[in-house]
Amino acid sequence: MPELPEVEATRRSFVDQIVGAHIVSVRMGKPLRWPLGCSVESLVGRRVLGVRRRGKYLLLDLDQGLLLVHLGMSGSLGFFKAHPHPHPGAHDHCDVHTTQGVLRLHDPRRFGAVVYAAGEAAPAAQKLLGKLGPEPLEAGFDLARFHATLCQRRVPIKQVLLAGDAVVGVGNIYASEALFRAGIRPTVKASNLSRRRAEVLYQAVREVLTQAVEKGGSTLRNFSNANGEVGHFQMQANVYARAGQPCRVCGTLIRLIRQGQRSTFFCPHCQKS
């Protein structure tokens, strides 16, 4: 958390408010996961041309270079248009003041980051983006390539989905939900999936993430988008965080197991193999 749907919901919530703005000043608070990579003074005067997403990263395209923003495990972005802007709190670690408002990174655990790069091909950007897999909601997410990658992995399919190279951005919540929708047990080795079952999973990943984006993501603890709005996908989750509750499809109790130090939820009946 936040995962791809939450990051995309955040992007959509402030992109129209910040595009065209000029940076007036930048305030950096306590150190984040990675350093900014430039002086705050060098960003003054630069214009925001757009906001994109790559996996769980937000890319603020400037007229010179770009800012890569990661929300870490508990971070969120807020965009404040009112004057005066709210005074930064103890966990507000980056303020980008623009002519159209303030973009603020709030991150209690400081696993997030704001990094400047001269361009997407620059080493600072490639270090973060270079090994990411295809975007699940774009045309580059190819079924044949997806199945070929699965065939090479003799580890549980849930772990492959989380790794981010077969497909990017499928975090813990949505991996569990996609596997349920595909009827695949999370412990099955990825290499054992036939092309037909890989296609079912491919479609399930796309459907679950599309639905989650439409619902504004999931708010399990404190996630909200840049306008302070919470997500609602968690209210219709089939398995995630429902251990011990009856399956919405068959009534079997949902089970919880641990995989790679992550919680995995599944239905023993609907996901037999």
Place of tokens 């990658």: 149
Residue type, 196: R
64/85 Cα distance (integer angstroms): 26
Residue positions annotated with a catalytic role: 2-3, 56, 262
CA dist., res. 95 & res. 93, Å (int): 7
The residue type of 260 is G
Q: What is the DSSP letter of 156?
A: B
Q: Which residues, at least 6 apart from 31, have a Cβ–Cβ distance to it below 8 Å?
A: 110
Angstrom distance (rounded) from CA 221 to CA 208: 20
* 187 and 203 Cβ atoms separated by less than 8 Å: no
